[in-house]
Structure 1
Amino acid sequence: MRHAVVAAVCLGASVWVTCGLWADPFGRTVAHNEGDHAFFEWLLGHGVRIVTAGADPFRTDLLNAPGGVNLAANTSITVYAVVFAPLTRVAGPQISYVVILTLNLAASAFAWYLLLRRHAVRHRAAAVLGGLFCGFAPGWISHANGHLNWTAGWLAPVVLGWVLRWRTPTRRWLRDGVVLGVLLAAGFLTAAEMLMQIALATGVFLIVWSCGRGTWPRARAAAPTAFAAAGVGALVAGTLLAYPLYLHFAGPGSFRGTAFRQRFFAEDAAAFLVWPDRSVAALLGVQRGDLAPNPTEGTSFFGAPLLVLVLAGTVLLWWRADRARKALMRALTVVGVLFAVLSLGPRLRWLGEEYDIALPYASLTGLPLFDAALPGRFALTVVGVIGTTLALLADRLLRHPPAIHLRVLAGAGLALALVPLLPAPVLTVERTAEPRFIADGTWKRFAADGEVITALPHGSAVAPDAQRWQAYTMARGGRQFRIPEGYFLGPGGRNGAGRVGAPGRRTGGMWTRTAVTGHAYAIDNRDRYTVRSDLAYWKVRALFVPDRIIGKDGVMFRAALVRTMTELFGPGERVDDVLLWRVRPGIDPMPVPGDGPDGPPRPTD
């Protein structure tokens, strides 16, 4: 019963954080990361095709026609896509998205509570405090801006809790190994980069903990069965992940490294000392959110009072502690300091200015796995260290209450450290309503199953509608169209690294810039030749513009886009609530009399 009460508290807090999306799941999107929100909705729609049509979970030709996309090299959340496919089929990707986001945050807090209650503290209140911090720390609230993978913080306590069972010798090493292998496979297919951090942090923690004078005999006695279980786990996970691992590292559309600059997506050292921009502190006007790379990647922002409290608490927990407690605090401290330093990236940054001071991550950037990780996210592991320390400190104060004046001082310290960090709801904005042309299936009159039809502008981070609406048709089942380009990770970056989206073609860039800026192109026959070539490459059968377009930065310039399309193809035909232009084989954009193909070179992307 008490566990149920804690679970309800965690769920209530999670609903509070996501209430902006719950208010209108079909008409609102996260304000700071529309591209990722749309991409995860697309993956959820693809999950219905996996279950009902036997589609490949790790590769698709529906995006980026005609080349397709390697989904194994993206953040595919395959487990969520399949498990929630029934809900997606019935209610749509919009509902599945907000349900998963809400459950992620609540499950993270509750799983940490259970882990701390079982392995670390005696008092339930202490475990609740630590669990709520671990589930709703600033880093997780930041990633709630669009990330279904990086809000799955429950993975860490679940994996760690299973591994901690091995501290004592057990004869069930085969069963333990099989369960671990399944957990690792599920973790990889939910949040691969997070699983790498969990594995690294768990390994460091266990090595440091095992080397303690009071814990070495236990570790040595448990080592044979622990290594046997770990070996079985690696074998099971490797077997289950053989195909996605091949695609991820060597399959068509794979790439090495990351599509993002690691020096940019690293923590500013000063960010550890200030408060986040979605918190009580922000409502009081005492935050400094501009130190994050963007609103989704603010993974530290603990505030100076909390760091002082954790430092003082660590010293207190060491003082007069037995060998077992010292071994635990030693392991926590090493993991916390190590991951905090790694989160700073290759170069030191302070208050927005980068200094030519190499940090440990600089020696790791060329190593496999580390070359594809974003350093700033290592600060999320520090959240678990701080939450555990808070739980241990609260447990000690509850078991051995100090004098009344010290209790008041401790309560005031906890309030000063934690109240400013209480989360505010994730910001949301309006998004374009799904046109009847898509919702009613009218599009089927203009494209056969598997043919290419697309909204304008093409799907991208700044204008995700085309990709989002394709997700909704996938969720409904039946015939399906393909779209050119899209928002995903793929090859084509510098020196063989990845990039966001497909290598740009001039036509798609022209339509996107027109919608974003309102700039009206002076179309000539060179443009028409380029458009004709790009349409032939994509094999597009129809193009359409909805009555209203909302992109990342607000309402887009529909009139300018329609004017450009009219210059290219003539007036569009009204079909339901869109303007549509058919693209038939052999029919070119309308030429301009007297304007030949030769002339001054046109700007290119």
Structure 2
Amino acid sequence: MSVAAPTTPAAADRPAAPDARAATKRLRAPLLVALAALALALYVTSGLWSNPYRHAVADNVGDQAFFEWVLAYGVHLLQHGGDPFFTDLLNAPDGVNLAANTSITVYAILFAPLTMLAGPQITFVTILTLNLAGSAFAWYLFLCRWVTPNRVAAAVGGLFAGFAPGFISHANGHLNWTSGWIAPLVLWQLLRMRDQRHWIRGGLILGVVLAVSFSIAAEGLFFTALAGGVFVITWALAKPNRAEARKLLPRFLGALGLTAVVAGALLAYPLYMHFAGPQTFKGTGFNQRHYSEDIASFFAFADRSIAAGLGLGSDLAPNPTEETSFFGLPLMVLMIGALVALWRRADEARRATLRALIVVGAVFFVVALGPRLRLLDTELPIPLPYALLQKLPLFDAALPLRFALVLVGVFAVVLALIIDRLYASAHKKALVAALVLALVPIYPLPLLYRERAAEPTFISSGAWKDYTSDGGVISALPFAINVAADGQRWQAYTMARGGGEFRIPDGYFLGPDVQGKEGKGRIGAVPRATDWLFLRAALYGYIADLDNWDRASARADFQRWGITAVYLPDGEITGPEGPLFRQAVETTATDLLGKPEHVDDALVWRIRPGVDPIDR
């Protein structure tokens, strides 16, 4: 604005234009990163979006069914009330401790309107897509605030963290583990406590963040807390930081104490249910030695990566959903070289930060290897630190290889730092070449998908109501379990629509291996003779030669479950790798229960209490 002549009112507003342009420029980079992250997330999940009602992740149909069930349970809670952390809709009559399962309670409630409107299938793929995009964007913001002002460096680091091989692997069905935005959010609030002026507010906010995060990804929150603790302690013990650490310590501990009070108050009931509630259990239903990292897997390529698509994949993970490392040899070499270069260029204070970062990476690398060293799919007689940790509380319920996911955050920070240091230097071309060589091979491919059985009209039309009362027990055949979860899915779709619900025996969940009391963890209910009879027919096509003992067992099982009908749709039965043996199930059911009724598109057998299955 000129000071030599008067201006009009309109001209007086002109000085604000540069500020508006600057604000627009500041928002441009975050907006571009957010759009890039969302586009990449849609690309990864495109197979599910192409037909969300019939497509399921090919490598983990059971987990998708479980999370769709939990999302539908959110609708049930809003419409009918109930306990968010315990239900008898599954595993009737004993019920399921949802606090001890990955029950994503916050998501279930927050997205309940979408679930009611479009069904849990749409909600599932929506959350999965937003998780991937949101994780990349959250890491971008974190890196911009705490690591580097270089937007390009932060964008590369953020997109790597959101779409690293380990998280693309967990996108095969896991809404909890793809919530990678939790780690940068928690760490952001932890680092803010360095500001002594707002320690009370910081403690309160972190307490709320922890409570929300616990209800979405408790195991991931545990890992994040451990990583944050290791980093802060290592940083504080470094010589250049000791004086500052002593000064910060009183209020920092006070803020953490306030965090504990807030989080403890909000999580008192969920924590009680998790550790001491009905149907709780010790450990997990999975073998920790089996779910440990093979040291070679850090240098291998994941199944859904460009390198694997070109034939450079490997088979070093327990299953395609647990490829938690698989960074590839070029990226591992780049990380080591970058740390060496950063260390040489760093002053004493910067080295203290790098040292803390290296310690976090080393600790979680070793822990992820599990109780015994594995090399090229062979377990060696070499014990590792996790052999001492695996019986401790929390560690006993974790899968060791998942600790490797912490290295994703460590690598994202290193990527941002090395790009920031070398982007404007004479080494720019070499840096770009190294980044291309390291990151292009692990660029994600879309998730594999396949068809799953459609919901039968017998369920969607409400015809099932003629065979049980509201809240009664009926079941598809075979009884629901992780490898045959159709019955649990169809119950979920009924819950999402409202207007009446039924309970089911069995189901896919984690529970105790001893009926009615705390035991070790297992997948699903304690097996009974009758559910195994039908599952065996479905999985293997085995038709048993039934006798009076089988019929007496079935009568006792039906009475215990309080079941009034079982049904078998005319279409296929979805299995873990393809359709199951439907005809064997029908033959077994007819031999056990007699001739069925044909209702809409399903065969239905009534179960009358106290009546022998053969007397029909």
Letter paired with 2:281: F
Identify which of 594, 597, 601 aligns with 1:570. 594
Deviates more, 1:209-218 or 1:415-424: 209-218
1:35 is displaced (CA, Å) by 1.1
Query: Cα offset for 1:322?
Result: 2.1
Kindly indicate whether residue 611 of structure 2 is the aligned counterpart of residue 590 of structure 1: no
Contact 1:38-1:464 at 8 Å conserved across structures? yes
Report what 2:148 is aligned to: 121
After TM superposition, give the deviation of residue 174 of structure 1 in Å. 2.0
CA distance in 1, matches of 2:507, 2:150: 51
Q: Which residue of 2 aligns with 1:13?
A: 40
User: Helix, strand or coil: the match of 1:566?
Assistant: helix
Aligned twin of 2:114 = 87
| Native 8 Å contact 1:212 1:323 kept in 2 | no
Alpha carbons 1:168, 1:221 under 8 Å: kept: no
| Secondary structure in structure 2 of the residue aligned to 1:277 | coil
1:596 match: none
Q: Give the Cα–Cα distance (whole angstroms) in 2 for the partners of residues 371 and 531 of structure 1.
A: 36
Conserved? CA contact 1:167–1:218, under 8 Å: no
- 1:550 CA drift (Å): 2.0
Q: Does the alignment pair 1:175 with 2:201? A: yes
Q: Which residue of 2 aligns with 1:598?
A: none
Report if aligned partners of 1:168, 1:218 keep a CA contact under 8 Å in 2: no
CA distance in 1, matches of 2:357, 2:261: 29
Question: What SS does the corresponding residue of 1:479 show, helix, strand or coil?
Answer: coil
Contact 2:475 2:504 in 1 (8 A): yes
Residue 52 of structure 2 corresponds to 25
SS in 1 for 2:474: strand
Q: In structure 2, the residue corresponding to 1:551 is in which secondary structure?
A: coil
CA distance in 2, matches of 1:295, 1:55: 36
Alignment of 1:317 with 2:338, yes or no, is: no
1:444 is aligned to 465
1:101 matched to 2:101? The reply is: no
Equivalent of residue 232 in structure 2, options 201, 206, 210: 206
Taking the aligned partners of 1:550 and 1:294, their CA distance within structure 2 comes to 19
Alignment of 1:50-69 (within 5 A): 50-69=77-96
CA distance in 1: counterparts of 2:136 and 2:248, whole angstroms: 29
Aligned match of 1:602: none
Query: 1:301 matched to which residue of 2?
Result: 326
Q: Identify which of 496, 511, 525 aligns with 1:502.
A: 525
The separation in 1 between residues aligned to 2:285 and 2:542, in whole angstroms, is 29
Could you tell me which residue of structure 2 aligns to residue 161 of structure 1?
188
Alignment-mate amino acid for residue 517 of structure 1: Y
The 8 Å contact of residues 474 and 480 in structure 1, kept in 2 or not, is answered as yes
- What is the aligned counterpart of 2:382 among 344, 357, 362? 357
Distance 1:65 1:198 in 2: 36
1:393 maps to 418
Distance 1:518 1:273 in 2: 40
Q: Classify the secondary structure of the residue corresponding to 1:167.
A: coil
TM-score (norm 1): 0.95
SS class of match (1:214):
helix
**Residues 169 and 221 in structure 1, CA contact (< 8 A), matched pair in contact too:** no
TM-score, normalization by structure 2: 0.93
What is the identity, as a one-letter code, of the residue corresponding to 2:417? L
User: Is contact 2:139–2:161 with CA below 8 Å preserved after alignment?
Assistant: yes
Instruction: Measure, in 2, the Cα distance between the counterparts of 1:397 and 1:364.
Output: 40
Q: Distance in 2 between matches of 1:586 and 1:366?
A: 45
Q: Quote the residue 2:296 is aligned against.
A: 270
Partner Cα distance (2:252, 2:548) in 1: 70
Q: Distance in 2 between matches of 1:146 and 1:511?
A: 26
State how far apart, in whole Å, the 1-side matches of 2:288 and 2:135 are.
27
User: Which moves more between the two structures, 126-135 or 436-445?
Assistant: 436-445
Q: 1:55-95 CA deviation, whole Å, 9 max, x = no partner?
A: 21000001001111111111111111111111111111001
**1:475 corresponding residue in structure 2:** 496
Instruction: Give the aligned residue type for 2:477.
Output: L
Q: Is the contact made by 1:110 and 1:132 (CA closer than 8 Å) also made in structure 2? A: yes
Deviates more, 1:126-135 or 1:530-539: 530-539
Partners in 1 of 2:591 and 2:287 — Cα distance?
Answer: 39
Q: Distance in 2 between matches of 1:20 and 1:314?
A: 38
Equivalent residue for 1:371? Answer: 396
Q: In the alignment, which residue of structure 2 is the partner of 1:517? A: 540
Give the superposition deviation at 1:409.
2.4
Which residue identity is paired with 2:436?
A
Deviation at 1:127, TM superposition (A): 0.1
**Contact 1:112/1:134 (CA < 8 Å) preserved in 2?**
yes
Query: 2:16 maps to which residue?
Result: none
User: What are the equivalent positions in structure 2 for 1:417-432 lying under 5 Å apart?
Assistant: 417-432=438-453
Shift of 1:493: 6.5
Superposed, which structure 2 residues align to 1:341-356 within 5 Å?
Answer: 341-356=366-381
1:234 is matched with which residue: 260, 272, 276?
260
CA distance in 1, matches of 2:311, 2:430: 25
* 2:310 paired with 1:281: no
Q: Which residue matches 1:579?
A: 603
2:159 is matched with which residue?
A: 132
State how far apart, in whole Å, the 1-side matches of 2:412 and 2:313 are. 21
Aligned-partner Cα distance in 1 for 2:541–2:391:
42
Residue ranges of structure 2 left out of the alignment (5+ in a row): 1-26
SS of residue paired to 1:356 = strand
Quote the Cα distance in structure 1 between the aligned partners of 2:185 and 2:205.
11
Q: Offset of 1:407 from its aligned partner? A: 3.0
Return the offset for 1:577. 0.7
**Which stretch of the first structure deviates more once superposed, 483-492 or 320-329?**
320-329
RMSD: 1.4
Task: Output the CA distance in 2 between the equivalents of 1:516 and 1:252.
Answer: 31
- Shift in Å, 1:524: 2.0
- Name the SS for the 1:443 alignment partner: helix
Distance in 2 of aligned mates of 1:493 and 1:147:
27
Q: Deviations over 1:143-168 (max 9, x none)?
A: 00110001111000001011111223
Output the amino acid matched with 2:434.
Answer: G
Worse overlay, 46-55 or 382-391: 46-55
Q: 2:455 aligns with which of 434, 439, 444?
A: 434
Measure the CA separation in 2 of the matches of 1:381 and 1:311.
Answer: 17
Distance 1:466 1:141 in 2: 28
Instruction: Give percent identity, aligned residues only.
Output: 56
The residue type equivalent to 2:240 in the other structure is G
2:192 and 2:592 mapped to 1: Cα distance?
A: 67
* 1:194 matched to 2:220: yes
Q: Distance in 2 between matches of 1:28 and 1:525?
A: 42
Asked if the contact 1:41–1:94 (Cα under 8 Å) also holds between the matched residues in 2, the reply is: yes
Maintained 8 Å contact 2:223/2:403? yes
User: Which residue is 1:455 aligned to?
Assistant: 476
1:327 alignment partner AA: A
* Alpha-carbon distance between aligned partners in 1 of 2:94 and 2:522, rounded to the nearest angstrom: 15
- Name the aligned partner's letter for residue 486 of structure 1: G
Kept after mapping to 1: 8 A contact 2:456/2:602: yes
Where in structure 1 are there 5+ consecutive unaligned residues? 593-605
Name the counterpart of 1:556: 580
Q: 2:360 aligns with which of 329, 335, 351?
A: 335
Distance in 1 of aligned mates of 2:576 and 2:514: 23
Partner SS, residue 194 of structure 1? helix
Report the residue type matching 1:584 in the other structure. R
Residue 591 (structure 1) shift: 5.5
Between the aligned partners of 1:35 and 1:110, the Cα distance in structure 2 is: 29
Determine whether 1:534 maps to 2:557.
yes
